Amino acid sequence: MSFVTKVLRRGLTTSALRMAAIKHVTVIGGGQMGVGIAQVAAQTGHQVTVVDQSEEILAHSKLSIERSLSRVAKKKFGEDLKAAESYSKSALSSISLSTDALATVTKTDLVIEAIIENLQVKQELFSQLDKVAPQETIFASNTSSLPISDIAISTERRDRFAGLHFFNPVPVMKLVEVVQISEQSDATFQSLMDFSKSLGKVPVVCKDTPGFIVNRLLVPYMMEAIRLVERGDASARDIDTAMKLGAGYPMGPFELADYVGLDVTKFIIDGWHEKFPDNPLFEPSPLLDQKVAQGKLGTKKGEGFYPYGKK
C-alpha cells in the first residue's frame, strides 16, 4: 500500500470514528473496578457486557452492581422508593454478563480491560480480541501501573488503543485519566474524552508514564507514609489523622492503602523499582512486603494496616 493510500485510509477511518458515539461497551473483568465501570456506563445510557471467566464470578459481579446501584439510587431519589427502584432496574437491564469475550467483542464499540495486572495475560487477551473485534472498535486498559504501549503492542490497532484509568469507588470518584500513546489517533482520543464526559466524569489527558498522574503522586505518598512508620517517626493511626485533619484528605494514607489493596500497592512499587532502580521514590518497603506475605492485603481480606473484621 502506498504512503498516500495509507494516509487516505487512515483519514477515512479517522472521520468514521469521529462520527460514531460509543453505545456498547465491553468490560473485561468483573472485579471491583470492572463492575464499577460497567455500572457507571449503564447508568449513563450505554449498553454494557461484563465478561469474566466463570458464571460464579459473574454472579458475584452482578450482586456488587446491584448493591452499589441501590446506594446511588438512594442518593438520587431519597425517599421516592419507586423512582429509585425503576432507576436501578433500568440500569441493570442495560447490563449483560458473558463468559465469552471473543463472541462479545464482535459487536462492541469499546473494550475496557480491567483484569489482573499481568502484562503477558493482558497482551494475550488483547491479541485474541484484536482478531475478532470490528475495525472501528477502540481498545482501552484500566491498568494502574503497566505501560499502555507495552499492552497495545500485542494488537494491530495501536491507533485505536488507550489507557482509560478509573478510580475506586468508580461510582463516586469523578476522574478518568485518558492515557495517550504515540500511535493513538486524534479520533480515538476524542472519542474517549467524549465517552468519559458521557459517563458524567471529568477526563484529564496524560502521557504513558509510570502511574500516569494520580498514582504517580499517590503511590510514593503512601510509601513515604509507610517509611515514617518503619522509622518509628509516628504511628499509622496518627499519620492518618494528621493527613485527614491537617491536609483535608478523605482517607489517611494507611486507610487508603488498605482500601486500594496492599498487594496492589506492592505490585505497583515493585514494578516501578525494577524498571527505575535509582529512583528513591520507588523504593520498596519491608513493612509492606511483610503485610503482603502475611496475607494482610487490606479491607478485602479483613486486615491490612488495620483490622476490619472477618471477610
What interhelical angle do 286-293 and 262-275 show, nearest 10? 130
Question: Binding of ligand 3HC at residue 256 (CB under 6 A)?
Answer: yes
DSSP letter string, 37-48: HHHHHHHTT-EE
Catalytic residue among 144, 145, 154, 285: 144
Here's the x/- map for ligand 3HC, 173-192, by CB under 6 A: it reads as x-------------------
Instruction: Clarify whether 183 is annotated catalytic.
Output: no
Number of H helices and E strands in the chain, helices first, is 13, 8
- Give, in degrees to the nearest 5, the angle at Cα 299 between 145 and 163: 20
Enter the DSSP assignment of 300: G
Is there binding between residue 72 and ligand 3HC (CB under 6 A)? yes
- Looking at the DSSP bridge assignments, the partners of residue 122 are none
119 sits near ligand 3HC (criterion: CB under 6 A): no
**144 catalytically annotated:** yes
Chosen residue from 9, 75, 197, 207 binding ligand 3HC by CB under 6 A? 75
Q: Does 167 bind ligand 3HC (CB under 6 A)?
A: yes
**Residue 214 belongs to what H/E stretch?**
helix 214-230
Does residue number 260 form part of the binding site for ligand 3HC (CB under 6 A)?
yes
Q: Does 250 bind ligand 3HC (CB under 6 A)?
A: yes
Q: How far is the CB of 263 from ligand 3HC (least distance, A)?
A: 11
Residue 115 within binding range of ligand 3HC, rule CB under 6 A: no
Instruction: Find, among 162, 206, 167, the residue nearest to 187 by Cα.
Output: 162
Q: Out of 215, 222, 243, 266, which residue is the one contacting ligand 3HC (CB under 6 A)?
A: 215
Clarify whether 165 is annotated catalytic: yes
- Contacts with 239 (C-beta within 8 Å, 6 or more apart), sequence order: 225, 228, 229, 252, 253, 254
144 binds ligand 3HC (CB under 6 A): yes
Give yes or no for a contact between 109 and 133, defined as CB atoms under 8 angstroms apart: no
Residue from 21, 59, 116, 172 touching ligand 3HC (CB under 6 A): that is: 172
**Is 48:41 a contact under the CB 8 Å cutoff?**
yes
Residues with a known catalytic role:
144, 165, 177, 215
Residues that bind ligand 3HC (CB under 6 A): 68, 71-72, 75, 144, 167-169, 171-173, 215, 218, 250-251, 256, 260, 264
